[in-house]
């Protein structure tokens, strides 16, 4: 098993005819993902990489049975694209787009209430269940099928951590990039819940960073609900106050948003803390040996 | 993006929120004229992108136009150091000359987007005039919060609840409610990330007045807020960061060490800074070159490192995903061809097109220190920097 995506995922790519959408749709297909449809308004009826393109998400779902959407729509139009997918009843939406205005995401979150869609991202690398399905922009080859779940706010730091795991022979059940924005569709807690319930996930690696208090909420969950070991690293110990460190959500605005406070909360909750980012693989290896 | 107090107050006034009478001045003579026009006591306030101005000597109350001129002369052209700035402070280019207000109470009012509820959040408190974080620690019961449903907007009943929370009474309740409604409208219309009135004061006539105001805006929304974008004062920002943007490097933050680093991805770049510190070094910058399919940004990053006299060694740490290792390698070779690199360079490459990248570096004959993995890269650059005396 795995979470969010697997061999039964039928992927739709919103923005498939754009530069990035086109490039990554092809990489996903090469990885073995079943890409069943694309959506670009105005290009319905055409084909792209032998994938049928539709004008609307609703039509694409009806005709192809797509059950997950990967979004590459530009920032000014991305929220509208997500709303369209939610309205169509898409079970899973993975939004890669970086730079969506915060108030657009406020509307998206309001619209999500009481509806069935799960949103991952925006501003994220996507989701991969190694050997089964890649719904994202990550490099497929560095992954290895296995039993460790990875959840992270970062892209390339996740690649670094995954490659450490893989080089130690530690495979992954699913790797989820929840994204670097201030208002992610899914939080650490949302994903930890799924990993806790997943039979094939034995341990979880959590990669947090400065900004917000999502790591503290994760700590709370780990303390009370999680039976599986969690290895954690929080990036940004050296980040200065009030400076945005690349990600829209990575900014220290108060003491709780500092790396040190998050590490303290996670450690007190029983998470195993990697002292530095190059040590996450080994820390996980030790945690698995103690199981 | 931040703006100055005088610009924030002009926006508040546009939205019907009362602010003290005043104007901005760039010279002592202008300040004198404005003070004469206002008459009586005026306050001279240094316009900088930092809080804590009062304690730092950036706010002065004077009683005549002549004094206004002198006080302004003492501020303009200097650098103000507050607890929110570095030791070097921020330059004072303008002052706001405002009528002095007769204050009986200092309150607090703000709106931001709450990360937990994912909704706009209005906060009000009767403990104004100090930082809200302090209030939250010492007297949290004095802070009142209302989530705002974006579908229906801010509602009068919410305003009343918050106004009663601030212990306002009589006509002040409806006045405060109107002010909150207008502030929410401004927040939404202009894509604010923070709208803060602190202190919101009650004058001796019982009127509400925004005595100080801070507005900041969502960088992701600036494309649709051209008028706000024009308010940006580059003099208030770190010169190296402004320079980096000029080179097309948007994600550059100045740090106070001596090791330069160039990384792809924000999380990995933060982690590189952390790891270098763990290995005993200190970085001169945070730099995420992002995803690129041309070599210019790599060459420009090297130009910045070469121009930065603090730098003793640099680490290039790339984990190719969307960014291709061969393109980065080609960029490094071009940088070596275009300029003299006066410091040791440690390179760690991994990911997409690694072999081709390694081949390009090897074939070029350039001199660099190759790192075998992430830890090795950080360790070697710290070692290299230690060997350099400056």
CATH number of the domain that A24 lies in? 3.40.50.720
Same domain, A179 and A206: yes
- pLDDT < 70 stretches in chain A: none
Same domain, A47 and A90: yes
**Is A1 contained in some domain?**
no
Indicate which residues of B carry an active-site annotation.
108, 196
**Is A4 contained in some domain?**
no
**Is A130 contained in some domain?**
no
Element at B1 (helix H, strand E): none
DSSP 8-state assignment for residue B226: H
Q: In CATH, what class is B243-386?
A: alpha beta
Complex-level ipTM beyond the 0.85 threshold: yes
Same domain, A144 and A244: yes
Domain B21-100 CATH assignment equals 3.30.1490.20? yes
**Is A127 contained in some domain?**
no
Chain A residues whose CB is inside 8 A of the B268 CB are 154-157, 159-160
Chain A residues whose CB is inside 8 A of the B251 CB are 245-246
Find the CATH number of the domain harbouring A168: 3.40.50.261
**Is A5 contained in some domain?**
no
Same domain, A93 and A145: no
Tens digit of each residue's pLDDT (9 = 90 or more) over A6-36: 999 999 999 999 988 999 999 999 999 999 9
**Is A115 contained in some domain?**
yes
pLDDT at B290: 84
What b/e string do you get for A25-63 counting C-beta neighbours within 10 Å, with b at 16 or more?
bbbbbebebbbbbbbbeeeeeeebbebbbbeebbebbee
Same domain, A116 and A142: no
Residue ranges making up the domain that contains A29? 10-120
Same domain, A153 and A245: yes
Same domain, A155 and A241: yes
Last residue of a domain, one of A63, A86, A120: A120
Last residue of a domain, one of A120, A151, A171: A120
Render B50-95 in DSSP notation, one character per residue.
-S-TTTTT-EEEESSHHHHHHHHHHHTTSEE--TTS-TT-EE---E
**Is A236 contained in some domain?**
yes
Q: What is the spatial distance between Cα B279 and Cα B302, in angstroms, rounded to a whole number?
A: 23
Same domain, A111 and A147: no
Chain A residues whose CB is inside 8 A of the B288 CB are 246
- Residues 134 through 193 of chain A touching chain B, CB cutoff 8 Å: 137-139, 142, 152-160, 163-164, 180, 182-183
The number of distinct structural domains making up chain A is 2
pLDDT at A253: 82
Contact B268 A160 (CB under 8 A): yes
**Is A155 contained in some domain?**
yes
- Residues 256 through 285 of chain A touching chain B, CB cutoff 8 Å: 259, 275-279
DSSP 8-state assignment for residue B149: -
Chain A residues whose CB is inside 8 A of the B218 CB are 101-103
pLDDT at B306: 96
Chain A nearest CA to B373, separation (Å): 9
Same domain, A32 and A116: yes
* Ranges of each domain in chain B: 1-20+102-237, 21-100, 243-386
| Superfamily of the domain at B1-20+102-237 | ATP-grasp fold, B domain (3.30.470.20)
Same domain, A111 and A206: no
Same domain, A113 and A179: no
Tens digit of each residue's pLDDT (9 = 90 or more) over B187-206: 999 999 999 999 999 999 99
Q: What is the spatial distance between Cα B34 and Cα B41, in angstroms, rounded to a whole number?
A: 12
- pLDDT < 70 stretches in chain B: 292-293, 390
Same domain, A18 and A104: yes
Indicate which residues of A carry an active-site annotation.
247
* Count of CA atoms in the C-beta half-sphere (13 A) of A137: 29
Q: What is the spatial distance between Cα A107 and Cα B62, in angstroms, rounded to a whole number?
A: 47
């Amino acid at each position: 098993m795995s979470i969010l995506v697997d061999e039964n995922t039928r992927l739709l790519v919103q923005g498939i005819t754009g530069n990035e959408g086109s490039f990554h749709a092809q990489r996903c297909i090469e990885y073995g993902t079943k890409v069943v449809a694309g959506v670009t308004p105005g290009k319905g009826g055409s084909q792209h990489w032998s994938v049928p393109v539709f004008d609307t998400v609703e039509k694409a779902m009806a005709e192809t049975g797509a059950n997950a959407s990967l979004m590459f729509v530009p920032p000014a139009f991305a929220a509208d694209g997500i709303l369209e997918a939610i309205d169509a009843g898409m079970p899973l939406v993975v939004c890669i787009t970086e730079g969506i205005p915060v108030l657009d995401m406020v509307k998206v979150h309001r619209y999500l209430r009481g509806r069935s869609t799960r949103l991952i991202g925006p501003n994220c690398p996507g989701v991969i269940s190694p050997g089964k399905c890649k719904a994202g922009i990550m490099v497929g080859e560095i992954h290895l099928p296995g039993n460790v779940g990875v959840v992270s706010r970062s892209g390339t730091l996740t690649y670094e951590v995954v490659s450490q795991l893989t080089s130690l022979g530690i495979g992954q059940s699913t790797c989820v990039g929840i994204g670097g924005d201030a208002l992610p569709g899914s939080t650490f807690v949302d994903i930890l819940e799924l990993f806790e319930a997943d039979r094939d996930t034995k341990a979880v690696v959590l990669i947090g960073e400065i900004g917000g208090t999502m790591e503290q909420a994760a700590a709370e969950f780990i303390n009370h609900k999680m039976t599986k070991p969690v290895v954690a690293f929080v990036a940004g110990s050296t980040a200065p106050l009030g400076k945005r460190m690349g990600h829209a959500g990575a900014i220290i605005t108060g003491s709780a948003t500092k790396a040190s406070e998050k590490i303290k909360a996670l450690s007190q909750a029983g998470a195993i803390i990697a002292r530095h980012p190059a040590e996450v693989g080994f820390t996980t290896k030790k945690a698995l040996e103690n199981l | 993006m931040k703006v100055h107090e005088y610009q924030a107050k002009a926006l508040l006034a546009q939205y019907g929120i009362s602010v003290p009478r005043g104007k901005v001045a760039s010279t002592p003579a202008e300040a004198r004229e404005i003070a004469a026009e206002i008459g009586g006591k005026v306050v001279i306030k240094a316009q900088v992108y930092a809080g804590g101005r009062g304690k730092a000597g950036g706010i002065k109350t004077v009683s005549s136009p002549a004094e206004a001129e002198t006080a302004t002369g003492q501020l303009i052209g200097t650098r103000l150091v507050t607890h929110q700035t570095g030791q070097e402070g921020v330059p004072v280019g303008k002052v706001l000359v405002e009528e002095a207000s007769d204050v009986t109470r200092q309150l607090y009012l703000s709106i931001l987007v709450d990360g937990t509820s994912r909704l706009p959040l209005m906060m009000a408190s009767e403990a104004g005039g100090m930082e809200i974080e302090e209030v939250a620690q010492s007297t949290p019961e004095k802070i009142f919060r209302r989530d705002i449903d974006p579908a229906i907007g801010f509602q009068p009943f919410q305003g009343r609840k918050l106004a009663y929370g601030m212990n306002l009474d009589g006509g002040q309740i409806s006045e405060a409610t109107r002010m909150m409604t207008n502030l929410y409208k401004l927040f939404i219309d202009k894509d604010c990330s923070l709208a803060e009135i602190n202190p919101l004061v009650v004058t001796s006539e019982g009127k509400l007045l925004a005595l100080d105001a801070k507005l900041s805006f969502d960088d992701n929304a600036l494309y649709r807020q051209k008028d706000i974008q024009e308010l940006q004062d580059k003099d208030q920002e770190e010169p190296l960061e402004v320079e980096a943007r000029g080179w097309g490097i948007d994600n550059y933050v100045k740090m106070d060490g001596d090791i330069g680093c160039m990384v792809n991805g924000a999380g990995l770049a933060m982690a590189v800074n952390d790891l270098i510190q763990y290995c005993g070094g200190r970085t001169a910058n945070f730099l995420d070159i992002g995803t690129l399919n041309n070599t210019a940004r790599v060459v420009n990053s090297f130009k910045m490192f070469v121009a930065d006299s603090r730098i003793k060694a640099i680490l290039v740490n790339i984990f190719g995903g969307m960014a291709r290792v061969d393109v980065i390698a080609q960029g490094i070779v071009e940088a070596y061809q275009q300029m003299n690199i006066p410091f040791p360079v440690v390179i760690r490459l991994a990911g997409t097109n690694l072999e081709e990248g390694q081949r390009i570096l090897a074939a070029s004959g350039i001199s660099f220190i190759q790192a075998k993995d992430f830890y090795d890269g950080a360790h070697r650059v710290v070692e290299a920097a230690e060997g350099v005396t400056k």
